[in-house]
C-alpha cells in the first residue's frame, strides 16, 4: 500500500526520468522507444520547467524541443504509421539521389573539382570551371528535381495532418526558435539585399564583373594551413581574451582533409579537417572551422549545439579573423575575401532559402516538380540577389542540383543567414568581450537558438536589425580598402 502511495505521488521529474529510461530500453526506430519519447514530450509540455531538473541536465535542450512540438503530435497509432511510411519514402528517395554518385558524369565530386578553379587568376579558366560544373548539374537535375519534389510532398502531407501551416516550423523547433523569428530575419534580409549588388559593383572594378568572377580574389602570396590557423588563433584570443588559451589549442588541432568538419572522437578528442585553399578566402574557412573547434572545447553542455548556434560561433570566428587580417600586409586581398564571404554566407544562402520556399510551393500544387521549374526558380533567386549588378547566365540554372543538403537537411541553408547576421551583431555589441557575455554564450554550448541570443544580452529579435546595420557599415569600410587598390 505504501509503495502504491509513493508511486501515486511521483513528481513530474520522476515520471520524465522513468519514461526516458523506458525509451532507452529499445533501439532507435522501435515504436516503443518513440511512444515513450512522445509521452516525455507531453509531460514536459505540461510544465516546461521540469526540463531544469538536475537529473535531466544532459537532455535539457532536447526535452524543450520535444515539448515545443508536442501540440502537433498525433495518436500513437498515427505516429507509428507516419513514421513507417515516411521513413520508407525518405530512404528510397535518398538512395536514388545517392545513385548519381555512381557515374562520373553526375557525381558531385566532378562539379566540386571543376568549381575549385573559380579562384583561378586567368578569366578563361574561371569560365571553363562554370561550364564544366554546370554540365554535371544539368545531368543531375532531372532526378534531383524528382527527389526534392517527393520529399517536399511528404513533408507537406505530414504538416497538414499536424495542422502545421509553415514548412519551416519543424526546423525552427529543432533549433530552439520560432518560425516567426525566421520569417522576421528572412524579410529583413530581403530588404537589405541591395547591399549585395553594391558589393558586386565594388569587386567588379578590381577583379572582373562576370558571374564566373564571383570567387576570384586579389593575387596574394599563398598561405599555409599552419599560418592561417595561427592567425585565426591570435585573432580569437584578442576577440575573447578569457578564451585565449583554448583558441590557441583549437588552432593547433586542424589538418588537411577532404571535407570541412569538426569531429569529437570516441575518446573525447577534437579533430578538425579543412579542404584548405592557400588564399585569403581559404584562411577564413580555416577560421570558421577553428570557431567550431573552440566551441566544442569550451562547451560545458553535454548536448552539441544546433546549426543556428554552432554556425554563429563559426561565422563570428571568421569575421574577427578577417577583420584582424585587414590590418596586415595583405589588407586589400583580405578585405575583398571578407566582403565576399559575408555577402555569400548571407545573401547567397538567403537565395538558396528562397529557392527552397519555391520548391515547397510547387510541391503544394500536387504536381510533379520538374527540373525546368527548379532551374527557373534558381536563376530568379540568384538574379534577385544581384539585382542586375551582374548578368547571371542561363547555364547556371541547374546549380541547385549540387546542393544535396536541400534533400538531406531541409532548411539548413538558412543557418548561415542567421549566423552571419548574429555574428555581426555580436561584434557590434561586445567588441573584445569586456562584459564576458561572448565567452559565457560559447561555454553554454548546446543551448537553444533563442536562449543563445538572450545569453548575449539581446532583447528578443533586436539583433536582426543591429546585425544588418553593422553589415552595411562593414561593407562600406571594406569597399574603401578595396577601392584604394584600384
Q: Is residue 390 part of a domain?
A: no
Res 486: pLDDT = 53
Give the domain range for residue 41: 2-73
Which parts of the chain sit beneath pLDDT 70? 1-9, 266-268, 485-486
Res 1: pLDDT = 32
Res 290: pLDDT = 96
Q: Is residue 13 part of a domain?
A: yes
Residue 475's DSSP bridge partners are none
Q: Is 456 exposed, middle or buried (0-12, 13-18, 19+ CB in 10 A)?
A: buried
pTM to 2 decimals?
Answer: 0.94
Q: Is residue 21 part of a domain?
A: yes
Total domains in the chain come to 1
Q: Is residue 26 part of a domain?
A: yes
C-alpha cell at 216: 576570384
Res 268: pLDDT = 67
Nearest to 307 by CA among 467, 173, 401, 399: 173
Q: Is residue 334 part of a domain?
A: no
Q: Is residue 269 part of a domain?
A: no
Nearest to 426 by CA among 470, 393, 472: 470
Res 267: pLDDT = 63
Q: Is residue 23 part of a domain?
A: yes
Res 57: pLDDT = 87
Q: Is residue 29 part of a domain?
A: yes
Amino acid at each position: 500500500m505504501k509503495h502504491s502511495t509513493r508511486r501515486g505521488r511521483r513528481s513530474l521529474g520522476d515520471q520524465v526520468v522513468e519514461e526516458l529510461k523506458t525509451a532507452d530500453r529499445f533501439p532507435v526506430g522501435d515504436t516503443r522507444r518513440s511512444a515513450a519519447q512522445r509521452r516525455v514530450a507531453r509531460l514536459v509540455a505540461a510544465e516546461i520547467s521540469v526540463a531544469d531538473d538536475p537529473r535531466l541536465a544532459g537532455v535539457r535542450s532536447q526535452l524543450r524541443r520535444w515539448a515545443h512540438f508536442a501540440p502537433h503530435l498525433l495518436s500513437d497509432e498515427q505516429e507509428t504509421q507516419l513514421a513507417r511510411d515516411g521513413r520508407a519514402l525518405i530512404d528510397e528517395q535518398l538512395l536514388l539521389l545517392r545513385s548519381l554518385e555512381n557515374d562520373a558524369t553526375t557525381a558531385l565530386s566532378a562539379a566540386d573539382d571543376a568549381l575549385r578553379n573559380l579562384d583561378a587568376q586567368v578569366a578563361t579558366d574561371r569560365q571553363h570551371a562554370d561550364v564544366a560544373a554546370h554540365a554535371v548539374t544539368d545531368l543531375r537535375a532531372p532526378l534531383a528535381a524528382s527527389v526534392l519534389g517527393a520529399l517536399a510532398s511528404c513533408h507537406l502531407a505530414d504538416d497538414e495532418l499536424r495542422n502545421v501551416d509553415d514548412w519551416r516550423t519543424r526546423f525552427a523547433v529543432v533549433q530552439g526558435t520560432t518560425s516567426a523569428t525566421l520569417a522576421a530575419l528572412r524579410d529583413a534580409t530581403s530588404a537589405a539585399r541591395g547591399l549585395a549588388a553594391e558589393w558586386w559593383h565594388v569587386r567588379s572594378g578590381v577583379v572582373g564583373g562576370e558571374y564566373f568572377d564571383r570567387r576570384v580574389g586579389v593575387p596574394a602570396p599563398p598561405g599555409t594551413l599552419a599560418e592561417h590557423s595561427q592567425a585565426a588563433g591570435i585573432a580569437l584570443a584578442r576577440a575573447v581574451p578569457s578564451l585565449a588559451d583554448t583558441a590557441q589549442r583549437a588552432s593547433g588541432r586542424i589538418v588537411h582533409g577532404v571535407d570541412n568538419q569538426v569531429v569529437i572522437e570516441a575518446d573525447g578528442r577534437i579533430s578538425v579537417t579543412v579542404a584548405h585553399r592557400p588564399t585569403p578566402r581559404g584562411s577564413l574557412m580555416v577560421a570558421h572551422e577553428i570557431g567550431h573547434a573552440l566551441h566544442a572545447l569550451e562547451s560545458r553542455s553535454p548536448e552539441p549545439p544546433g546549426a543556428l548556434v554552432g554556425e554563429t560561433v563559426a561565422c563570428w570566428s571568421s569575421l574577427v579573423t578577417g577583420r584582424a587580417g585587414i590590418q596586415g600586409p595583405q589588407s586589400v586581398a583580405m578585405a575583398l575575401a571578407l566582403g565576399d564571404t559575408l555577402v555569400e554566407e548571407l545573401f547567397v544562402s538567403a537565395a538558396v532559402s528562397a529557392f527552397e520556399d519555391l520548391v515547397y510551393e510547387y510541391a503544394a500544387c500536387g504536381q510533379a516538380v520538374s527540373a525546368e521549374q527548379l532551374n527557373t526558380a534558381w536563376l530568379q533567386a540568384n538574379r534577385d540577389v544581384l539585382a542586375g549588378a551582374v548578368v547571371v547566365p542561363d547555364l547556371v540554372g541547374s546549380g541547385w542540383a549540387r546542393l544535396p543538403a536541400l534533400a538531406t537537411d531541409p532548411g539548413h541553408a538558412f543557418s548561415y543567414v542567421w549566423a552571419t547576421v548574429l555574428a555581426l551583431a555580436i561584434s557590434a555589441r561586445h567588441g573584445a568581450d569586456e562584459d564576458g557575455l561572448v565567452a559565457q554564450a560559447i561555454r553554454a554550448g548546446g543551448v537553444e537558438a533563442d536562449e543563445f541570443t538572450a545569453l548575449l544580452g539581446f532583447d528578443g529579435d533586436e539583433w536582426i536589425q543591429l546585425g544588418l546595420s553593422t553589415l552595411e557599415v562593414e561593407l562600406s569600410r571594406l569597399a574603401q580598402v578595396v577601392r584604394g587598390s584600384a
